[in-house]
Chain A
Amino acid sequence: MSKDIRIKKGLNINLVGAAEQTTSKAVSSNVYALNLDDFHGITPKMLVKEGAELKAGEPIFYNKNIEEMLFVSPVSGELVEIVRGARRRILTLKILADKEQSYQDAKTIDLEKADADLVRKTLLQSGCWPFIKQRPYDIVANPDATPKAIFVSAHATAPLAADVEYVLNGKEVELQAAITALGKMTPGKIHVSVGNTGSSVFSTIDGVTLHKVSGPHPSGLVGTQINKIDPINKGETVWTVSPQDLVIIGEFLLTGKFNAERTIALAGSSVKSPKYYTTKIGTEISTFLYASGVTEDKFRLINGDVLTGAITHPEGYLGFYNNTVTAIPEGDDYEFFGWNKPVFNKISSTRALTFSWLSKNKKYDLDTNTNGEHRAFVVTGRYEEVFPLDIYPLQLLKACMVKDLDEMEQLGLYEVAPEDFSLTEFICISKQPHQQIIREGLDLMYQEIG
């Protein structure tokens, strides 16, 4: 039984620089890298030493706490550098790619006959497992849990995010394989949410419960959809997978090869010709950034979308989960009487001499300026207007700040991920770092209650 989801609370942030729907193949990068920050909460244990020759799909490290969980190399080549930070924490693993790519071949399994244990084992060993994330805590899924349902959001509403239907075009076979396999691991349903316009690649896929989603951002965030379809209770687990990662999982299940290829959107107002590129996880971003060209010297490069991504730079590497790279202008400049003069060129959630409410479809060129200083929480009732979950956002943030575990639990911290607070962070008048507050709250809770 599918359930349509209509979201009323929210805010669409229209920015200039949306990726044009043409895809080019990015030049292959010399060096690929895995950024360990992408795997939140994982303590890596290396399986190979610096200098080791690796095939694509060959394990590099495992999760110290769950030893079956392997992480593999996206390309074949030599592990040239293990970049370490404070207290020898591993930050980045750099792999010098071979000219000719070779893949580690795994035995394919018979998807129809395989049981949950076999699927789990296969995905854990293949390096596909980290694509599956879990809630509560928004971390890589714990294989020793049975999810009550699996959620896939095939509807991107974040500003400038890659169009999911476009990048999934022609991947039905892989998607079907991945969905069949994942379906074995839950007694519940696999909920897939799609936009309510046009047809979706998922409409032909068996084994999913399709939901049509409409309304402003954050209707495309999986957290919103979980809350509206089947909210998480204490003690329950749900898994979330992004549709492009399903393709990699599916291809592995069908061919036995870990193919880290994906189509990503390069977007943002600092990009000359924003469009889509086919490339691989871990590629150096400069391999496609300069193919499109940049319009200014000082820009902010973001691994991900503007609301949730991580700061990177042209020599940085494409994140493990990202299918969007955004470049927007840096805003490190002063503005004369910026706090009281009428504003026409920036988005506002109020009408206090701000005029973005007049033209809802106008596209804005926003920079990274905070537009004000950090303050204590003062204004109330604003977050609720862009926060469709059945949760009190301000109260939950405050509970996280004072580290009150009971209250965090009661107010629904199990149900949220930092990204769910990206819009409240965007409109926050006190310029509080909402996503960081929620992340720290989740980490504390995982540590104390886990």
Chain B
Amino acid sequence: MKEKLHQLKLKYQGKKMAPAFNAIHTFLYSPNETTHSGSHIRAVDDLKRTMNTVIMALVPCLLFGIFNAGYQHYSAINGFPENFSVLEHFITWDNFWIGAITVLPLVIVSYGVGLAIEFVFAVIKGHEVEEGYLVTGMLVPLIVPVDTPLWMLAVAVAFGVVIGKEVFGGTGMNILNPALTIRAFLFFAYPTWMSGDKVWVHEAVERAGTADAISGETILGYLAQGNTADMTEKYDIAEMFFGFIPGSVGETSTFLILLGGLFLIFTKIASWRIMVSAVIGSLVMGLIFNGIVDAEWIPEYSKFYGLMQFDFWQHLIVGGLAFGIVYMATDPVTGSQTYKGKWIYGFLIGFLSVMIRVFNPGYPEGVFLAILLMNVFAPTIDHYVVQGNVRRRMKRLKNATILPKPSDGKTEQLKVETV
């Protein structure tokens, strides 16, 4: 097998389809390339391993999302079970089946369309197929509502991969996070499919207006409508934290996201600086809003009141904030690249996410907009951080000891070229 593939690789070398073949080849076997200059030895990590680690951190969220799709569907029909037990009501074949027929097609379409475009671009431009989409393709199904029509997802993926990434030159060159570009495209192109109280539960849209109508709105949606009643009537804190609530496929379980985040920090793949500062940022903004409510600067009938009075720390366990912070704000390509920059970048993501969440009139969620906005500003942040280093160097320059050359002072002799 190894020999055969090697012969095939030599045969395809220089041909147009070589990148496509190599992508499959290097998937099976890490390549036989050796160093030529500089460091003759190299560490074991490569981009495939890096991306694979992120995918591993996402798998629990995907599995949870599959079961939750079924759980939310049946709960919307039959009501939430009393004396909820995970094994009895959540991890069941019925739930899994609903999840399998709704979530897995999203994953397949996301990977199929995205990777097809990656292969086509690699063949056209003659570079290797890059691994960036392995993570994007996994993120996309996790950040859309469960019933997103597949054609819609396909269109969005095509847009996101081509406009969000390939036009800039592929993985590593893009300005905006491709997964969020896809999410933003869906949001602005098909808003009715992305918000409201019908999209978060499987079959809710089809059943609308019939006798069997079901619905399930997100906690944020509930609050945005000015409902200030204590959320614990609807969901308790544990349910929110563990994720038995409606929402995009993979974003609901803060617990699993937390585990994934810790895994990414432990493996040193994602930046803990961004995660920590984003959490701080969102808590600060939440506290400010809580403070405004406490100071009674805002009347209860204000449409922002519901979200503003929401306990500041609970912002982290509902909606997509935690998911965005752990898996998308930490995207190294579109985020800040310097340590100091990462602190500022993360803080502003958390801060703006909660702000947009509260003030967004149409859709009570802000994390994807906040990250996209900060993607745009990340180079600016880095610029000023790096300028700090440059200024330090400039300051040092004032005390530079520039010594006279030995030839100074002597009469300059004309040198005649001799051969």
Give A contacts to B, CB under 8 Å: 13, 15, 45, 67, 116-117, 120, 143-148, 159, 187-188, 231, 233-237, 300, 302, 306-311, 326, 328, 330-340, 343, 346-354, 356, 366-382, 384, 390-392, 394-395, 410-412, 418, 422-423, 425-431, 433-436
Judge whether A371 and B45 touch: CB under 8 Å. Answer: yes
A120-B406, A376-B173 known; A352+B38 contact, CB < 8 A? no
Judge whether A339 and B338 touch: CB under 8 Å. Answer: no
Judge whether B337 and A339 touch: CB under 8 Å. Answer: no
Give B contacts to A, CB under 8 Å: 2, 5-6, 26-50, 52-53, 128, 130-132, 169-173, 266-269, 271, 273, 332-333, 335-339, 342, 382, 386, 389-390, 392-394, 396-397, 399-407, 415, 418-419
Other-chain contact of A373, B28, B128, B268, B397 (Cβ < 8 Å): B128
Judge whether A380 and B332 touch: CB under 8 Å. Answer: yes
Judge whether A328 and B41 touch: CB under 8 Å. Answer: yes
A339-B49, A378-B332, A434-B38 known; A334+B29 contact, CB < 8 A? yes
Contacts of A159 in B (CB 8 A): 41
CA distance A310 to B114 in the complex (A): 42
Judge whether A146 and B386 touch: CB under 8 Å. Answer: no
Other-chain contact of B32, A116, A332, A350 (Cβ < 8 Å): A332
CA distance A428 to B42 in the complex (A): 8
Other-chain contact of B46, A333, A339, A377, A392 (Cβ < 8 Å): A339
Other-chain contact of B28, A15, A337, A428 (Cβ < 8 Å): A337
A-B contact pairs, 7 of them (CB 8 A): A147-B403, A187-B403, A308-B38, A350-B50, A368-B40, A371-B30, A390-B389
A306-B41, A352-B45, A368-B35 known; A410+B393 contact, CB < 8 A? yes
Contacts of A346 in B (CB 8 A): 43-44
Other-chain contact of A352, B6, B267, B403 (Cβ < 8 Å): B267
Min CB–CB distance B45 → chain A (angstroms): 5
Judge whether B46 and A236 touch: CB under 8 Å. Answer: no
Min CB–CB distance A134 → chain B (angstroms): 13
Judge whether A350 and B33 touch: CB under 8 Å. Answer: no
Other-chain contact of A236, B45, B48, B49, B401 (Cβ < 8 Å): B401
A117-B406, A233-B400, A369-B32 known; A392+B386 contact, CB < 8 A? yes
The residue of chain A having its C-beta at the shortest distance from the C-beta of B43 within the complex is A427
The residue of chain B having its C-beta at the shortest distance from the C-beta of A434 within the complex is B38
Contacts of A370 in B (CB 8 A): 31, 33-35, 42, 46
A372-B31, A379-B332 known; A431+B173 contact, CB < 8 A? no
Other-chain contact of A425, B5, B38, B400 (Cβ < 8 Å): B38
A340-B49, A347-B43, A431-B46 known; A334+B405 contact, CB < 8 A? no
The residue of chain B having its C-beta at the shortest distance from the C-beta of A343 within the complex is B44
Judge whether B389 and A392 touch: CB under 8 Å. Answer: yes
Contacts of B32 in A (CB 8 A): 331-334, 369
CA distance A13 to B335 in the complex (A): 30
Judge whether A334 and B31 touch: CB under 8 Å. Answer: yes
Contacts of A306 in B (CB 8 A): 39-41
Judge whether B130 and A376 touch: CB under 8 Å. Answer: yes
Judge whether A334 and B41 touch: CB under 8 Å. Answer: no
Judge whether A331 and B415 touch: CB under 8 Å. Answer: no
Judge whether A381 and B38 touch: CB under 8 Å. Answer: no
Other-chain contact of B397, A234, A326, A378, A423 (Cβ < 8 Å): A234
Other-chain contact of B49, A336, A352, A391 (Cβ < 8 Å): A352
Contacts of B40 in A (CB 8 A): 300, 302, 306-307, 309, 311, 326, 328, 368
Contacts of B397 in A (CB 8 A): 233-235
Contacts of A333 in B (CB 8 A): 32
CA distance A392 to B42 in the complex (A): 21
Contacts of B386 in A (CB 8 A): 392, 395, 411
Contacts of A349 in B (CB 8 A): 43, 45, 268
Min CB–CB distance B413 → chain A (angstroms): 11
Min CB–CB distance B115 → chain A (angstroms): 16
The residue of chain A having its C-beta at the shortest distance from the C-beta of B395 within the complex is A233
Contacts of A427 in B (CB 8 A): 43, 45
Judge whether A372 and B38 touch: CB under 8 Å. Answer: no
12 other contacts beyond A306-B41, A307-B41, A426-B43, with CB at 8 A cut-off?
A: A147-B403, A233-B393, A328-B41, A332-B33, A339-B52, A367-B41, A371-B46, A373-B128, A381-B339, A425-B39, A426-B42, A436-B37
Other-chain contact of B170, A236, A376, A428, A436 (Cβ < 8 Å): A376
Min CB–CB distance B130 → chain A (angstroms): 6
A373-B26, A378-B172 known; A430+B406 contact, CB < 8 A? no
CA distance A350 to B28 in the complex (A): 22
Judge whether B36 and A371 touch: CB under 8 Å. Answer: no
CA distance A45 to B419 in the complex (A): 8
CA distance A350 to B389 in the complex (A): 27
Judge whether A411 and B389 touch: CB under 8 Å. Answer: yes
Other-chain contact of A391, B36, B43, B48, B389 (Cβ < 8 Å): B389
Min CB–CB distance A302 → chain B (angstroms): 6
CA distance A429 to B46 in the complex (A): 4
Judge whether B38 and A435 touch: CB under 8 Å. Answer: yes
CA distance A328 to B34 in the complex (A): 12
A376-B130, A381-B337, A394-B337 known; A336+B402 contact, CB < 8 A? no
Interface centre among B42, B53, B402 (most CB of A within 10 A): B42
The residue of chain A having its C-beta at the shortest distance from the C-beta of B338 within the complex is A392
CA distance A330 to B171 in the complex (A): 30
The residue of chain A having its C-beta at the shortest distance from the C-beta of B55 within the complex is A340
Contacts of A117 in B (CB 8 A): 406
Contacts of B2 in A (CB 8 A): 334, 336
Contacts of A145 in B (CB 8 A): 403, 405-406
Other-chain contact of B48, A339, A367, A379, A390 (Cβ < 8 Å): A339
Min CB–CB distance B166 → chain A (angstroms): 13
